[in-house]
Structure formats: C-alpha cells, structure tokens
Amino acid sequence: MLNFLSGGAKRHDAKHYPGFGLIGVLFFIFLYLPILVMIAYSFNSNKIVSVWQGFSLKWYFSALQNDGLMSAVRVSLTVATVATVLATLIAISAALVLSRGKDVKGAKLSETVINLPLMLPEIVFAVAILILFSQLGVQNGLLKLILAHTCFCIPFAFLPIRARLQGMHTNFEQAAQDLYAPPWVAFKRITLPLIMPGIFAGAMLSFVISMDDFITSNIVSGGGATTLPVYIFSLVKQGVSPELNAISTLIIAISLLLVTPCWLIAERNRDASL
C-alpha cells in the first residue's frame, strides 16, 4: 500500500515528494465517490433514498417506462445527431480552407470567429440567442435547439480536424497532384482518409457537448422540446428520488460505453503515429 502511494519511488529520490501520493489518492476518491454512491443507491429498493433496504432493479424498470424521460432522450438524440452532422461539415470545410487554401486572407480573424463560442460565457450566448429567436418569431422548439447547438458545436468539431491537418505532411497530397489526380479525387482518396481520425474526434466531441448541454437548452427549450439534461434538472428540482438515481446511472453507463472505445482508438493511433 505504501509502495502504491509513493508510486514505487525510492525514499531518497529527489523527485519524490512525500504526501503528494496521498493527495493523489484522496483526489481520485473525491472524484469518483459521489458517482459510485449514486450508482449504489440506484439499486436500493427503499423509496426513502438514503436508507438501505435491499437490492432491487425496480427503479430501472420504472425509469424505462417513464414517457417524459423517453421523449427527452428522443429530443436529445435528434438534436445532437443533426447538430453534429451540420457542425462537422461546416468545420471540415473551414479547416480545409484555413490549412490548405492558397493565399487565404485574414486566417487569424477567421479562426477567432469560428472559436467565438469558446470565449463567450455560455449563459450570455443562451440569452442572446433566446432574444434573437423571440424577435424572429421562431416557435419550433426542435429547430431552435438544433440551430443553437450547431453554433456552439462548430469549434469543438473544428479544433481536432484543424490539428490533424496541421500535424500532417502534405507529401501524399502533393504526390496525388503530381500524378494528375483531379482535386476532388485527391481529396476523396488521400486527404479525407488521412484526416478521418480528426473528423471522428471532432464529431464525437460535438455529440457529447450537445448531449450534455444544459445552460442553452434550458433557456431556449420550450415549444414541446425538452432535452435530457433539462428533463433531469426538472426532476432534481423536485428532490432526490431512487428513480433519478437509476436514470443517472443509466446515463453514466451509456457515456462510458461511448467514450471508452473512442479513447482506446485514440491511444492506439497515438502509439502508431510515434
């Protein structure tokens, strides 16, 4: 145990700081204990959340039969899918111009404009777009959510694609050009496959950001479109409940199932590129 805390460092190692290992372990407990407690209590059969009675899956069954929850899941999936596709397409096109275009003017300005959503506090963006929609008379809740989410997902899709394009040699693309490949064929056969990891990472990031968004969705939603985080928030406002624990556990499980393979792929790619 002591060996684990010090990370196997020798006592006389100057680079070893006693106590840092303990802080590290306490930190990971702090990071994971709340989530683990919540998962554990989702299996509690007692209606009173904090008093343990026995193991039961009944809250999961009642969660899956909850119509409000299912409709929120549908709205969130629709919005996240459409916003991710739109944001990724826009980001690919912008990233290609900024890293491969010939004599692009104001590249710095363009990057700033694309990254605007990252600089602004989200609540300010949410309020601004709410006023815009009300001035324009946009009523459709789903449309409002898709437009807002597309906007703030663009930088998250853009950054990994741009990084991939910048970190990549242009040898293959030049070879294709030298061999008289038409630009479209060169793009489809050479550039696109090479930037695929960046596109995948960007799309994944956009999807998660959209699924997780609360601030903007909470202000903009209405008109019959409630996203999953907004729905969960309304449940939390009513107080803790065992069903809420089950819903939260399901969401965590799904995030893990989505993120872990992506992480593994990214790790493998990084090792391969070294």
Partner 1 sequence: MNKNLLGLAPAYLVMLVLMIIPLLIVVDVAFMTSDPYGGFKQVFSLESFQQILYNVDWDDNLVLNLQYLKIIGRTLLLSAITALICVCIAFPVAYYISRQSASRKTVLLYLVTLPFWVSMVVRVYAWVLILSNDGVLESGLRLFGLVDDMDSLLYNNGAMLVGMVYSYIPLMILPIYASIEKLDINLIEAANDLYSNRLKTLYRIILPLSKPGIVAGAILVFVPCLGTVLEPMLLGGGKTMMMGNLIQNQFTISRNWSFGASLALVLLAIVLIFLMLQALRAKRVQAGEV
Which CB sits closer to partner 1, 77 or 89?
89
Which CB sits closer to partner 1, 176 or 244?
244
| Min dist. Cβ of residue 82 to partner 1 (A) | 14
Cα separation, 46 vs 15, in Å, equals 50
- With contact defined as beta carbons under 8 Å apart, do 68 and 223 qualify? no
- With contact defined as beta carbons under 8 Å apart, do 162 and 93 qualify? no
Which CB sits closer to partner 1, 15 or 169?
15
| Min dist. Cβ of residue 168 to partner 1 (A) | 18
| Min dist. Cβ of residue 171 to partner 1 (A) | 22
CA angle centred on 151, ends 202 and 139, rounded to 5°: 135
| Min dist. Cβ of residue 67 to partner 1 (A) | 20
| Min dist. Cβ of residue 59 to partner 1 (A) | 13
Which CB sits closer to partner 1, 155 or 176?
155
Which CB sits closer to partner 1, 88 or 190?
88
